[in-house]
A = this chain, B = another copy of it.
Amino acid sequence: MNDRSNTPVSGESLLFLTDEQLRKGIEAMFFAYRGFTADPDRILDEHGYGRAHHRALHFINRTHGTTVNNLLAILGVTKQSLNRVLRTLIADGLVESRVGRTDRRERNLYLTEAGRELERALSEAQRERMRAAYRAAGPQAVAGFRQGLEAMMDHEIRRHYANLRDRRP
């Protein structure tokens, strides 16, 4: 329809992309994300949880002792929405909420042993999928894959992500 030409993406060129090529990328993104979440979704379902729980577990595990406000910023949801999820995770003994030491208004969040166990099962499924994808795509594709993903994030979120990356214990 609006395709400019049939010129493919050539090695080192100025990057002419047809609408057709872009459409394929868009659909690949859609289907890939579905594949990416499929395995955890099955595990979560067995426990009566959803993706929202997975996200919370992931980021609490990744930044031990993070505060509720911090989590809100990363996840980009409302306090009420997150609270509903956190409440069940705490009630089920997967997450522990401790009053902050320096600022007693804050709550620091930690995974319990049970929480770590579920998180490990979820992330292992996802890591395995990621490994398989990397294997299938080949070593030379790995860098390009990550670069493409990072370039697609919103800038502020990418900053967030970069900060998180460095702040690791």
Q: Report which A residues bind B (CB closer than 8 A).
A: 9-13, 15, 17, 19-20, 22-36, 38, 55, 58, 62, 76, 123, 126-127, 129-154, 157-158, 161, 164-165, 168
Contacts and interface: CB of A to CB of B under 8 A. Distances in A.
Contacts of A35: 152-154, 157
Nearest to A161: B31
Contact of A29 (B36, B38, B140, B154): B36
Q: DSSP majority for the A interface?
A: helix
A28 B75 CA distance: 13
Given A26-B123, A26-B126, A34-B154, A145 B147 contact: yes
B141 A17 contact: no
Contacts of A131: 17, 22
Given A29-B130, A141-B148, 8 more contacts: A22-B130, A23-B123, A31-B161, A34-B76, A36-B152, A133-B148, A138-B147, A144-B144
A144 B148 CA distance: 8
* Copies of the chain in the assembly: 2
A75 to B, nearest CB: 10
B28 A142 contact: no
A124 to B, nearest CB: 9
Given A161-B31, A165-B24, A139 B9 contact: yes
Nearest to A144: B144
A13 B154 CA distance: 32
Contacts of A10: 139
30 contacts: A9-B142, A9-B143, A13-B139, A15-B135, A17-B131, A23-B123, A23-B127, A24-B146, A25-B145, A25-B146, A26-B130, A28-B149, A28-B150, A31-B153, A31-B158, A32-B148, A32-B149, A35-B157, A129-B152, A133-B151, A133-B152, A134-B151, A136-B147, A137-B144, A138-B147, A141-B145, A143-B144, A144-B145, A144-B148, A145-B145
